[in-house]
Amino acid sequence: MAGTAGSIEGMDLVKKVGADHVFNHREKGYLNNAVAAIGGHGFDVVLENLANVNLGADLTVLNQQARVAVSYINLYILLCYDMKQGLAAPF
């Protein structure tokens, strides 16, 4: 699994919740680097939280049978974050 964030803190959180590869989405070429990290065949699933900005780019890095899930709230972080413990168990 690959994930992105726009800060060191965010990247650390993405790594802690289970991403094998983490990329800074503020850096040029991050999508190409992410695809290369997973073997170059494109993503099976993209969870997009800012589709009005990123959807066009997302469509360029999908494999032929891929799916895109679009949300307005970052549900992944809401599900993984536990206010008392810091992080919930991986799911």
pLDDT tens, position by position, 34-56: 999 999 999 999 988 887 788 89
- Select 2-80's CATH number: 1.10.510.10, 3.30.420.40, 3.40.50.720, 3.40.50.12160: 3.40.50.720
What is the per-residue pLDDT for 12?
95
CB distance 89 to 80 below 8 Å: no
Bridge partners, 74 (sequence order): none
pLDDT at 84 over 50: no
Domain ranges for the chain, please list them: 2-80
Q: pTM for the complete prediction?
A: 0.72
**CA 90, CA 17: separation in Å to the nearest integer?**
6
Residue 63 structure tokens: 């494999």
pLDDT at 90 over 50: no
